[in-house]
């Protein structure tokens, strides 16, 4: 009897050298003297994102929609799913017990973990559930994280450990819970892209080096903010649609309203995403520590560029853990044109 060939599905998922833990361990080996703590942290983050992805997918029949009745430091009403995602990250990361403190968009102060007193090299800041306005509408939402090495490992951990420039980031990443669940991260040597295989519950490496393509011709911006933009910002956005001779540029517009989703599309398809400072948000709308800086690190590692509207975003050092910033990111050539032409801030 002739031997049966394994079908494609089985063949594809049985690749044990490309799951998250295996890839992270392989990368660790390229850093002689590494303690393994960063690998454990990335693997723990992967676990937390699988749990959050499940909560997002099943929220409808688990009664996880609606509000908790509290507001966060940004004066936003906290959604039940925001709160659950926050708790999952704090519990999974604390249980992993290998680092000092955490910052969450949903918590006013930095959280000192059990193991905080004296253990651990790293601190983690995260936006547990990005895209809250899209929760419940079956539109992708996500989780964003940033990792810094503590300034002084012997000193007790404090919020000061987080007030470091973006250029000092050790690692950054996000998960996107949509038609597929993606886990994307960088440790400063390119961008790794994993896709969750729900049949075995594993993140499988699907793109070892994600790179922003040139010529994406996609603009992503909330044009409802047009009245609050400076004349040069308005002119710049117009120039993405119409050439001086009145003909079309060939650009199209995409705006999901979930930062991670708009960012993920931008690094896969090119173009430019903008949430610049404006009269409505003079300091910017998005959060510097756990939204803009981690995504700026990934964008640069993917060959792109990120600004705060005026300067290279990674050079910024947060003055407080919940500081806001402008965010303009995408293909280097287009973001540079923005820098030269659009002065977003309105006097």
Q: By CB under 6 A, name the binding residues for ligand FBP.
A: 76, 105, 127, 130-133, 222, 257-259, 285
Instruction: For strands 169-177 and 181-186, give the pairing.
Output: antiparallel
Tell me the longest C-alpha to C-alpha distance in the chain.
81
Which helix (H) or strand (E) segment is 261 a member of?
helix 259-269
Minimum distance from residue 127 beta carbon to ligand FBP (Å):
5
Minimum Å distance from CB 116 to ligand FBP?
25
Angle, helices 293-301 vs 259-269, to 10°: value is: 10
Q: How far is the CB of 48 from ligand FBP (least distance, A)?
A: 16
Tell me the two tokens of residue 204. Answer: 């499988």
Of the two residues 38 and 90, which places its CB atom closer to ligand FBP in the complex? 90
User: Which residue, among 345, 220, 344, has the nearest Cα to 274 in the 3D structure?
Assistant: 220
User: DSSP states of 331-346 as a string?
Assistant: -HHHHHHHHHH-----
CB-wise, 191 or 256, nearer to ligand FBP?
Answer: 256
- Rounded Cα distance, 71 and 106, in Å: 9
Residue 176 or 314: which CB sits closer to ligand FBP?
A: 176
What is the closest distance, in whole angstroms, from the C-beta atom of residue 329 to ligand FBP in the complex?
11
Query: Environment class of residue 30 by beta-carbon count within 10 Å: exposed (0-12), middle (13-18) or buried (19+)?
Result: exposed
Helix, strand, coil percentages (3-state) for the chain, rounded to 5, are: 35, 25, 40
CB of 105 or CB of 193, closer to ligand FBP: 105
Residues 6+ apart with CB under 8 A from 74: 105, 287, 322
Structure tokens that stand for 55 in this block = 């909560």
Query: Least separation, in Å, of the C-beta of 132 and ligand FBP?
Result: 4
101 backbone dihedrals φ, ψ, rounded to 5°: -140, 165
Min separation Cβ 155 and ligand FBP, Å: 31
Residues paired with 274 in a beta bridge: 328
Q: Are 325 and 284 in contact (CB under 8 A)?
A: yes
For ligand FBP, the closer CB: 107 or 151: 107
**Nearer Cβ to ligand FBP (101/132):** 132
Return the HEC string of 139-165: CCEEEEEEEEECCCCCCCCCHHHHCCC
Residue (134 or 232) nearer to ligand FBP, CB: 134
Which is nearer to ligand FBP, 3 or 224 (by Cβ)? 224
Q: Which is nearer to ligand FBP, 24 or 286 (CB)?
A: 286
The secondary structure of 60-86 as a DSSP string is HHHT--SEEEEE-TTSPEEEHHHHHHH
Q: Is 244 helix (H, G, I), strand (E, B) or coil?
A: coil
Instruction: Give the shortest CB-38-to-ligand FBP separation in angstroms.
Output: 25
State the minimum distance, in angstroms, from the CB of residue 124 to ligand FBP.
Answer: 16
Please state the closest distance from residue 281 (CB atom) to ligand FBP, in A. 8
């Amino acid at each position: 009897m002739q031997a049966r060939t394994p079908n494609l599905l089985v063949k594809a998922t049985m690749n044990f050298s490309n799951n998250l833990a295996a890839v992270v361990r392989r990368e660790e080996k390229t850093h002689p003297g590494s303690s393994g703590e960063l690998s454990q942290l990335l693997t723990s983050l992967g676990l937390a994102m699988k749990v959050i992805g499940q909560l997002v997918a099943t929220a409808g029949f688990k009664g996880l929609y609606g509000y908790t009745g509290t507001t966060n430091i940004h004066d936003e009403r906290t959604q039940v799913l925001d709160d659950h995602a926050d708790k999952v990250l704090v519990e999974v990361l604390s249980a992993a017990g290998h680092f000092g403190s955490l910052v969450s968009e949903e918590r006013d102060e930095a959280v000192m973990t059990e193991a905080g007193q004296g253990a651990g090299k790293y601190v983690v800041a995260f936006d547990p559930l990005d895209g809250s306005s899209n929760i419940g509408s079956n539109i992708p939402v996500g989780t964003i994280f940033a990792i810094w090495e503590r300034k002084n490992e012997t000193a007790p951990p404090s919020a000061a450990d987080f007030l470091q420039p973006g250029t000092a980031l050790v690692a950054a990443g996000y998960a996107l819970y949509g038609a597929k669940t993606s886990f994307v991260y960088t440790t400063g040597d390119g961008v790794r892209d994993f896709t969750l295989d729900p049949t075995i519950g594993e993140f499988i490496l699907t793109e070892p080096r994600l790179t922003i393509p040139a010529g994406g011709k996609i603009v992503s911006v909330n044009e409802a903010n047009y009245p609050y933009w400076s004349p040069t910002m308005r002119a710049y956005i117009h120039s993405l649609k119409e050439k001086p001779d009145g003909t079309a540029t060939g650009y199209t517009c995409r705006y999901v309203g979930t930062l991670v989703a708009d960012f993920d599309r931008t690094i896969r398809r090119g173009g430019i995403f903008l949430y610049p400072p404006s009269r409505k948000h003079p300091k910017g709308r998005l959060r510097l520590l756990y939204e803009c800086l981690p995504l700026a690190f990934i964008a640069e590692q993917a060959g792109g560029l990120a600004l705060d509207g005026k300067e290279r975003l990674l050079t910024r050092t947060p003055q407080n853990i919940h500081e806001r910033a402008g965010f303009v990111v995408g293909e280097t050539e287009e973001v540079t044109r923005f820098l030269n032409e659009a002065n977003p801030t309105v006097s």
